[in-house]
Each structure stands twice: as C-alpha cells, then as structure tokens.
Amino acid sequence: MDSGRRKFFKLFAAGSLGAGLTPVFPASLSGIAPDQPTETNIADALKYPRNENSMPGKYPGRVVRVDDEKSISDGTINEEAVYNMLDGGMRNLGECNDVRDAWRQFVNPGEKVGIKVNPIGGKLLSTSHALVKSVILQLEQSGIAREDIVIFDRRMQQLRDTGFTPDNYPGIAIAGTEHVDESGSYYDENGELYSLSLIDRDWYYWADCEMEYDDYMLPFMVNQGKYSYFSKIVTQQLDKIINLPIMKNAGASVTLCLKNLGYGVITNTSRLHATLWAETSAQVCAFPPVRDKVVLNIADGIKGCYDGGPGANPQFFTDYKMLLLGTDPVAMDVVGYDIIIGKRIEMGRQSGFFDVGMQKMELAAGYGLGVADRDRIDLRTIIRS
Amino acid sequence: MVMIKMYCLIFLCSLLFGSSGTAVVAKGVAERPDGLFFCQPEIVTTATPDGKIADMPVMSPSDLPGAVISRSEIYVGGSLWGLINGAADLYYEYGFDRMALQDIGWEGENFRLELYRMDSPLAAYGIFSVSVHGCEEGGPVSTGYCINRFQYQLYSGNYYLSLINYSGSDKARELSLKIAELVANRTGGAAAVLPGLFVRQPFEVNADGIRLIRGIIGVRNIVPGIAHLFDEADDFEIWHLGIASDSGQQEILLLKSPGPHPLPEAAAITEGLSMAGYAVREADGQVVAVMSDDFVESNELLDRIIILL
C-alpha cells in the first residue's frame, strides 16, 4: 500500500474481517451476527428491558410521506409550505385532527426535548431551518417550553457554521458534544478538550477495533481505543429526542435515521467507519439512551442528494420535495432507501439495488428496533400540491 | 504546570495577534491514566501577505479586486474529518495531503473554494473523477474540468478544486471561471497517466466517464456488488468505465496494482468477479472484467479489450 495514503491512521482490528456478506440476522441473545467482522458489546444493550417509548415507538412500520411541489423553488425553501407539510404529516401519523394532540403523543410539558439535526453538509446541505423552526413552533404550540428545547449534534462548530446559533434561535439551547468556545478552540484553559466533560463514561459502545488518530483528528474523535462513549447530552440532559436527518446517500446506501443517531451521539467513530459502518448505525441505536428516547423521526427531504453524500456536492443535489415522518427509524430508512437509491439508478450512478445497502436496516430490525420488511411497512402518502 | 502556563501564554498571544489564515494544531499529546488525552494547544498562524495559506495557492484580495475573503483555513492530516466527517475517508483513501478552504464574496456573489492537494496527480484525478457528473461544460479527461450551474471542478497537477457558488447565476459562473483560471495557473504540473486502453479507439469517445477507484470506500460507492471481494485488499486500482451501447449499458473494469507488481490476489478476484456475473480474464498481472445484459456480448467485448492490451 502506498505509504502516503492513509498515513495518518493505523487501523488495528482483532480477528479476521468478514467477507462483507449481508447478514441475515435473527434476534439472538448475543446480538452478534455470525458474519459480523468484529465483536462488540451489543449484547449489553439487549439486556436492558424495553419500555413504552422504546423503538420502534408508537407506530411500528408506519411511515408518512408528505410531498409538496411548492416546498422549494430555485433553491429557496418555502417555510410556510414546510410548516403545513409537517402539520399534515403529524396529524396523519398520530391519526388526529389537531396537530397539538399529535405532538402530545410523543412529548409532554416539562420534558427536555432534543432535536438532533445533521449539519455536516455545511450551509449547502444540512437539516433545513424551515423544518427545524416548524418543529420548534409546533412543539411550543403543544406546550413544550422554549427553554426545554435543545438543538444538538456532535460538532458545535458545524452547528454554528450552518446557522444553528443563539441569534437565530433565541431562547433555544444549542449543544455539541465536540464543544468549541467562542474563539474556536476545542481546548480549555487547562489544555483539556471541552468534550471530555460532555462524554458519559457509564454508557459506551465497545468494539474490538481501534485506530490511532493524529493530533489534528483527536478533537473530533475525543478519545482513541476500543470505547466510544455516549454524549451526556443524550444520556443525562434530554428526556426525549426528535431525529431530523436529511435524505442523503452514503455510497450505495443511505445516511438517514439510523446513521444520524448511530454516529451522531458517540465518540471515536472513525475506527467504526472502516470496519463496522452498518453495525454501528444499528447497534448504537439499540442502547437505551437512544432506543428509549428517540420518539419521532422526521427526514428532511425538501432538498437532498443522491450521490456525493454524506458530503455536499451540488451537482448531485436533488429536490425530493418531501418529508418522511415516523416513530420507526428502520421503516423510515427503508422507505428513504428506496427513494434515494431509485434516484441514483435513474441518474445513472448505480446500476441496481444491492443487498449491502439494506444491511443496517436488517440488523436494526433484528434488534427489535423497527420493521425492515417492505410488506409490513405501512406507507401513507400525502400529496399537497 | 509551568509548561501548561507557557503554552497558554502562546495560545493567548496567538489569539491577539493571529491573522486571517490560521490552523489549530494540537501538540504534546499525552495519555492520561483513564485512557483519555490531555492536549496542549498551539495556534499556528499560517497566512502570508499574498494570501497563501501554508503554501496553498488560494485567493487573496489582490487577485479578486473588491472581494471579501471571510474565511481562510487549512486542514491538514486528520483535521479534514472535523470539517466533513466521514466524507473525509474517501479523500484519505486516494492520498490526501491538505485542503484550503475559503469563503469568498465577490461582486455580489458568494463562493466556497475547497482546494485539495493530494499526494499525486493520479490521486487528484481519482478524487476528481468520482466527484463529477453531468458536466454542462468540459469533461474530466478531455478538458480536466467540469462546469455545472453551482459548481466548477478541476484537477491540475496534484490539486483538485471544488468551487461552489450559491446563486447558480450566469454572473457566478463567469466569476467562477476567473477564479478557477487563477488556481489552474498556479497549480500546473504533471498530469495523471490514464490507462492507454481507455484513451484510444474504440473507448476514446467515452473517456470522460472513466473513474478511478483506489480503496474499499470507492468500491462500495461505485461497484457495491463486488465490494465483498475487496474487504481485505488495500493495494489495488480499479479503472471503471460505463458505456452506453445499442444493446444497453456496459461496464468495463480494469483492475491492477498501483505499482509495477502484479495485482495481489488476482486469481481470487477473478473468480469472484466471474461469480458475480462478469466476463473476466486475467492478463499480465491485471484483471479485466466486462458486465452487460448479454453475457455473449460481454465476452466479445472482453476479447477485443485483451487484444488492445
């Protein structure tokens, strides 16, 4: 291997890497699929008893798709249209006439509600402000106090860069595990990473692989080794989480509900990208801080992409002009997968559907997190205009 | 404690006297007993008076009269992950050196300039080849650039440029050309050498569709159906060409090692491609594979390719 490539990292994996075949994974005591390349502590997660909020939530298998041609025009998002799409989608999901009743099925006054956005595409392709503001407005209309709402992600700097700031969201807390101060430094006056105080060492995802990071990368990984720690934002600060991913591809798969959570709430992820990309997305979501707190998923498909994801390459952008809503992140990802990969095929970026793209959804279904079988998904479509 | 105070003083001084181009570098990483890390920060000011950041040929106000460059940053090593998260892995796979990022406001238009310096012209071509699509003007091989409404991309020497405008207007396009020309003039060098097979008849007409894959991420993105063959491989190049013919789509893969030695595990890869439905043959340490809707046609095309090789 060319010594100049990937010279920043050394990857160490115990055991042999699997053949990369799509696992057919029945739920089991160990949680480890026979073909899983690397051992993890998923079995620990599966021991925790489930509760009424646990994934797939109130409506397993149900996905509401809301289409509106007027939601975006020439790059400008129509905020009113998005608000109305969200309103209609929530009422359909909750099967009620008043959107406040719909929201109150998932959140209650007095609870700390986190909104997990996706800002990694920068200003070009991040969870839209039109959607976030609509969610906040409807939460407030449903009795959630503004001071009980938190917009969060891993990376504080990216949140700022994409406009998730106190100025734009007065009264709303903005939180990032990889915290930076106003000067842009990841380190405090003692030379310690701010993020060290924001990780919860009582909750972790352990995987038998590790990667050595250089000095530049460490602030974004927080720690090396075989442990990925959950963010205290998720484990300690929030009661409920609303997940707002964007409709983007990731190669021949998608980065949607499961990925936005799986990689968005833990540290030390680059080592997992290389060996456990799909497994991490599914297994992290099986841990109670995620499984029992994520009550709603709203996929932002007003503007998305079909290639170049999860980054932002404008020539692969497309206006899907839709929202997807559901409590079941697995079913949401399956529906989104069919749309995004269908677009890839239409645009000649992929010749067909490949099993590998469904891997994380099938794994997650095996852990009881939702429905991956298309025959059991209840897809409801609302076409507004 | 004295060292910490000294570093803090340097840190604070840098905040006071830092200029428009900076890079944050963590030095002196020490491992704590709990396995977490204690890092002593140091801010390195890298901007030069003519706007260069750490020897990267980016824009300065004198290049673009009246322009406001509101952001100028350099990303070295693993720090690219901090900017684009997992998308950085693809750049590392090709051979990444550093990236300069600028936000530019010029004549009422706004631009985001990302200039990647890769470790070779081939690496620059590779990342460029998988990042372009549907060029309204230009073509990756024929011209080395690709222009679309919101983006100008080019590769030049070891550099890959992505210049994004936010309006998609004709004026933005015109200004993009000026910026890109300045970059191109400063980044000339050796060009990537593409396999001769693809730049002569009968494939020359399709040459702009050639894509270079250099690792498992690229394989998963472009040919996911055979990704399992490369899970443990890290010493390969795949040249991918899609052709539209009268009978449908054809896909040609040329698999080789990056060096003069034969492709490692060529026999296993050949067998795996065959099982995946490709017409495939091993020749001179390389593997050539063809996929189309008609297996007979695939074999006929394969025969012609082997003769050309």
Look up the pTM and report it: 0.84
Cis previous bond, A37, omega within 30: no
Contact A219 B7 (CB under 8 A): no
Question: Percent of chain A beyond pLDDT 70?
Answer: 90
B249 lies within 8 A of chain A by CB: yes
What backbone phi and psi angles, to 5 degrees, belong to A246?
-115, 150
DSSP label of A37: S
Chain A residues with CB under 8 Å of B81 CB are 217, 220-221, 270
Instruction: Report the pLDDT value the prediction gives residue B220, as an integer from 0 to 100.
Output: 86
Instruction: Say which of B25, B26, B224 has its CB closest to residue A252.
Output: B224
Instruction: Report the pLDDT value the prediction gives residue A254, as an integer from 0 to 100.
Output: 94
What confidence category does residue A287 fall into, taking pLDDT thresholds of 50, 70 and 90?
Answer: very high
- Residue B122's CB is within 10 A of a number of other CB atoms, namely 22
Contact B77 A216 (CB under 8 A): yes
Work out the average pLDDT over A357-384.
96
Work out the average pLDDT over A151-177.
94
Instruction: Report the pLDDT value the prediction gives residue B221, as an integer from 0 to 100.
Output: 86
Question: In the predicted model, is pLDDT for residue A54 greater than 70?
Answer: yes
Is pLDDT larger for residue A12 or for residue A73?
A73
Chain B residues with CB under 8 Å of A352 CB are 225
ipTM score for this prediction: 0.81
Mutate to test the interface with B, among A1, A3, A5, A351 (most CBs of B within 10 A): A5
Q: Is the dihedral of CA B198, B201, B207, B210 positive or negative?
A: negative
Question: In the predicted model, is pLDDT for residue B113 greater than 80?
Answer: yes
In whole angstroms, give the CA distance from residue A79 to residue A82: 5
Mutate to test the interface with A, among B2, B37, B132 (most CBs of A within 10 A): B37
Work out the average pLDDT over B191-215.
81
A186 lies within 8 A of chain B by CB: yes
Q: At a CB cut-off of 8 Å and minimum separation 6, what does A308 contact? A: A249, A315, A316, B131
CA distances from A306 to A91, A199, A377, B111 (A): 29, 33, 23, 23
Instruction: Report the pLDDT value the prediction gives residue A15, as an integer from 0 to 100.
Output: 35
Question: In the predicted model, is pLDDT for residue B260 greater than 90?
Answer: no
Question: In the predicted model, is pLDDT for residue A27 greater than 50?
Answer: no
In whole angstroms, give the CA distance from residue A155 to residue A100: 31
Cis previous bond, B264, omega within 30: no
Helix (H, G, I), strand (E, B) or coil at A36: coil
> Strands, E, within chain A: which ranges?
10-13, 62-67, 72-73, 76-77, 113-116, 149-155, 173-178, 199-206, 209-212, 227-231, 240-243, 248-250, 253-255, 294-301, 304-305, 317-318, 322-326, 378-383
Instruction: Report the pLDDT value the prediction gives residue A244, as an integer from 0 to 100.
Output: 98
| Residue B222 identity | I
Query: pLDDT tens digits for A92-148?
Result: 999 999 999 999 999 999 999 999 999 999 888 999 999 999 999 999 999 999 999
Q: For residue A88, what are its two tokens?
A: 């209609």
Interface of A with B in 309-368 (CB under 8 A): 309-311, 313-317, 347-352, 354, 356-357
Question: In the predicted model, is pLDDT for residue B42 greater than 60?
Answer: no
Nearest-neighbour CA in chain B from A58: distance (Å) = 32
Chain B residues with CB under 8 Å of A186 CB are 24, 41
What confidence category does residue A311 fall into, taking pLDDT thresholds of 50, 70 and 90?
Answer: confident
What backbone phi and psi angles, to 5 degrees, belong to A270?
-60, -35
Chain A residues with CB under 8 Å of B289 CB are none
| Residue A359 identity | Q
Give the chain A residue nearest B87 (alpha carbons): A311
What confidence category does residue A46 fall into, taking pLDDT thresholds of 50, 70 and 90?
Answer: very high
- Number of inter-chain CB pairs under 8 A, A vs B: 179
